Amino acid sequence: MKDTKLMIAVIGCFAIAVLFILVIVWEIKKSIDYGQKVRRLSANVTKTVEDDNRDFSIYESIVGVDEREMILIPEGVFTRGSDGGGFDEKPEQEIYLDAFYVDKYEVT
């Protein structure tokens, strides 16, 4: 009886170890397949550079001590959110914002 329980425990541990190894192999194969898919898709991507032709001359602008140009966004009522967007964009609502400055060019 004692030997039977021990044998069942050993077989169970062996089965768990085999399953663990199979899961690791499966995850490695998935990551390799994903890497190949990314390389294949990125080979088809063409990079484009768009000129920023927006006219900001109607807005008041200032240049800070760090020499970055900032534009005054006027106060007013704005629509925030989207009823047609994702769950974290809902609900669409009208809000009032005070005037604020924002960098003219994207900051990364």
As a whole number, the mean pLDDT across the chain is 86
For the whole model, what pTM was predicted? 0.41
Model confidence pLDDT, tens digit, residues 10-40? 999 999 999 999 999 999 988 888 888 888 8
CB 79 within 8 A of CB 88: no
CB 96 within 8 A of CB 77: yes
**pLDDT above 80 (res 54):** no
Helix (H) / strand (E) element for 31: namely helix 2-43
CB 72 within 8 A of CB 99: yes
